[in-house]
Amino acid sequence: MVNVVTIGIGLQVTSETDVDVVRGPSCSGKTTATRILRQILTHSVVIYQDDFYKASLKPEDKVPLHPETQYGNWDCPESVDFDRMAAMIDYVRTHQGCLPEDYDSNEENNVHDGSSLVSESTLASLKELLAPFMKDHVFVFVDGFMLYYDDKVASQLNLKFQFTSDYQIVKERREKRQGYHTVEGYWVDPPGYFDKVVWPEHLRLTQYYHQSIQGLHQIDTAKYSIDQTALRVAHIIRDNTQCVSP
C-alpha cells in the first residue's frame, strides 16, 4: 500500500499600499510549478480548482455577474462548487491517487504556463531530491487560488503551499495572457477586468478568514525564478513527506 500525499498550492498577493496579505488571483506560477513537479513525480495527479466552477458542472448554472460591470465573475467563491471539489479530493485520496474514469479536466487545455521552459539541470536536481518517494508515494496536487477558503478542501491537504507575489507583477502577468478555455468558450479578460473585478474580489475574501492557516509554507515568487520556486517546493516536500501517514 502506498502513501497518498495531498499538496495544496494556492496564492496570496501583497499590495505595496496595504501591509495585510490577502489571497489573490492567478498568475503567480503555481500551475507552472505544479506541472514541473508532475513531470518528475511519476505517480502523481493534479486536481484543478478551475475545473469546479459551478457553470462547468451544471449547464443551467451561469457564471455570477459582477454587479457594476456585468462581466462574468470567475474570481468569487460563489462561482466554485467546493463541495464537489472536496468530494473529488476525498475520492482520489481513498482510491490510491486515481481519478475517476469519467473525470475530464478542462484546465489541462490551458497550456500558457512555463513548465516546458524549466532547465535540464533543475529537472535533474528535482529527480534527485524526490527519488526516495517515487516508489511508495502517490502525490495529489490541488491547484487553485481559493483553496484555503473552504474548510472541506483545506482540511484534506497534507501540505499547504501559498505562493506570494506583488500586486503589480501579478496584474501584468494576467493582462499579458491571451485567454482561458472555459465551459462557456474562450474567455479573454475585458479591459480593466483585473482592477474592477479580480482585485476587489480577493480583498472581499479577507472577511472570511477568521483563523490563520496552520502549517502554511509561503514562497515569494516575485523573488525567485520558476526553477528556484520548483526546487523550494521540492525541498519542502522532501522534508515533510516522511512523517505523512498512509
Q: Which domains does the chain have, with CATH numbers?
A: 3-241 (3.40.50.300)
20 is catalytic: no
pLDDT at 136 over 50: yes
Q: What is the mean pLDDT of residues 157-164?
A: 84
Q: Which is the catalytic residue, given 50, 81, 150, 227?
A: 50
pLDDT at 17 over 60: no
pLDDT at 2 over 60: no
Q: What is the predicted pLDDT for the residue at 23?
A: 31
pLDDT at 132 over 70: yes
Q: For residue 135, give the C-alpha cell.
A: 516508489
- For residue 56, count other CB atoms closer than 10 A to its CB: 21
Q: What is the DSSP letter of 224?
A: S
> Which of 38-42, 53-57, 162-166 has the largest mean confidence?
38-42
- Give the model confidence (pLDDT) of 163-185 as tens digits: 877 788 878 877 777 666 666 66
pLDDT at 66 over 70: yes
Contact, 49 vs 143, CB < 8 A? yes
| Type of residue found at 206 | T
In order, the DSSP letters of 3-53 are EEEEEEEEEEEEETTEEEEEE--S-SSHHHHHHHHHHH-SSEEEEEGGGGB
Q: What is the predicted pLDDT for the residue at 168?
A: 83
